[in-house]
Amino acid sequence: MPASTFPDRAVAQGRPPVPLLVPALLALGFLVLPLVGLVLRAPWRRLPELLLDPAVLEALRLSLLCGLLATVVCVLLGVPLAWMLARTEFPAKRLVRALVTVPLVLPPVVGGVALLMLLGRRGVIGQYLDAWFGLTLPFTTTAVVIAESFVALPFLVIAVEGALRAADPRYETAAATLGASRWTTFRRVTLPMAAPGVAAGAVLCFARALGEFGATITFAGSFPGVTRTMPIEVYLQLQTDPDTAIVLSLLLLAASVAVLVALRDRWTARRLG
């Protein structure tokens, strides 16, 4: 798109200089070649058999289930938070926005440790969950969903906040003059208008949840069928049956490509927001 906006740029400015061109090509190769290697080394002939391996299917089922549940949790909690950030003024709003982005830069393992400290059996809240309700979260499927939600929520909040900021708030004013309360306006005007942004955020959120490893293995462990999601299965299989690990990796790669295709208009063509 930018190339067509400046049709004369190539003519006007000549060829890219070598000190920029060479590292640029190296960077591209660095990003693409490992994936090419993965595809080249894939045991294509054994693929059906490996895909139907109960361990693979189990990990796949668990990953999809937890990823979807985490996405639902993130949408239910994240959209209201994004709305608060985009549409209301409150003290320390900048601080809140900064806190929201912390899990983006935090090593996921640290996130897992933090979740254990909060929700573990001896944790700040976990001890009461255990004592009062007999509820133990760590090393359960619920823990997987919690860990994935923790790392994926910022993606959703940021994407949806951007979509809400891009939506003209004057439509909400128009709704108010027609008698709509703020809640009604949110449901009937704001949310439908921001729907593409929410959908994009949800897809991104799902992709992040699907790939979650560090926080999950720390907070939920690795129990087959309970907490052993695909990334964990990949890591374990690599030590015993590399072919299975490659097949699982291909699946995750395919999921990532699918996400890129789903978001192609918002993510690749344009910059986010």
- Nearest approach, Cβ of 211 to other proteins (angstroms)? 33
Among residues 188, 257, 270, 273, the one that binds other proteins under rule CB under 8 A: 188
Q: How far apart are CA 229 and CA 222, in angstroms?
A: 8
C-alpha angle 263/265/269, rounded to 5°?
Answer: 115
- Helices assigned H by DSSP within the chain: 2-5, 9-13, 18-41, 47-51, 54-87, 93-105, 108-119, 126-133, 141-166, 170-177, 182-185, 191-210, 214-219, 230-240, 242-262
Nearest to 148 by CA among 105, 196, 103, 84: 103
Query: Do 205 and 75 meet the contact criterion of CB atoms below 8 Å apart?
Result: yes
By C-beta, is 9 or 182 nearer to other proteins? Answer: 182
Q: How many CB atoms lie within 10 A of CB 155?
A: 24
By C-beta, is 166 or 260 nearer to other proteins? Answer: 166
By C-beta, is 129 or 191 nearer to other proteins? Answer: 191
Under the binding rule (CB under 8 A), the answer on residue 173 touching other proteins is: yes
Among residues 5, 13, 88, 177, the one that binds other proteins under rule CB under 8 A: 177
- Nearest approach, Cβ of 72 to other proteins (angstroms)? 23
Q: Which stretch binds other proteins (CB under 8 A): 146-154, 179-187, 203-211, 248-256?
A: 179-187
Under the binding rule (CB under 8 A), the answer on residue 6 touching other proteins is: no
Tokens 């949806």 belong to which residue? 160
Cα–Cα distances in angstroms (integers) from residue 207 to residues 38, 64, 211, 264, in the given order: 19, 10, 6, 14
Per-residue DSSP letters for 112-131?
A: HHHHHHHHSTTSTTHHHHHH
Q: How far apart are CA 161 and CA 80, in angstroms?
A: 10
- Nearest approach, Cβ of 138 to other proteins (angstroms)? 43
Under the binding rule (CB under 8 A), the answer on residue 184 touching other proteins is: yes
Under the binding rule (CB under 8 A), the answer on residue 68 touching other proteins is: no
Among residues 101, 127, 181, 268, the one that binds other proteins under rule CB under 8 A: 181
Q: Which of residues 190-209 bind other proteins (CB under 8 A)?
A: 192-193, 195
Output the six-digit token pair for 124.
């700040």
Output the six-digit token pair for 142.
């619920």
Compute φ and ψ for 6, nearest 5 degrees.
-120, 75
Under the binding rule (CB under 8 A), the answer on residue 180 touching other proteins is: yes
- Nearest approach, Cβ of 166 to other proteins (angstroms)? 13
By C-beta, is 100 or 167 nearer to other proteins? Answer: 167
Q: Which stretch binds other proteins (CB under 8 A): 124-132, 183-191, 207-215, 254-262?
A: 183-191
Under the binding rule (CB under 8 A), the answer on residue 178 touching other proteins is: yes
Under the binding rule (CB under 8 A), the answer on residue 9 touching other proteins is: no
Q: Which stretch binds other proteins (CB under 8 A): 48-56, 58-66, 137-145, 165-173?
A: 165-173
Q: Which residues bind other proteins (CB under 8 A)?
A: 168, 170-171, 173-182, 184, 188-189, 192-193, 195
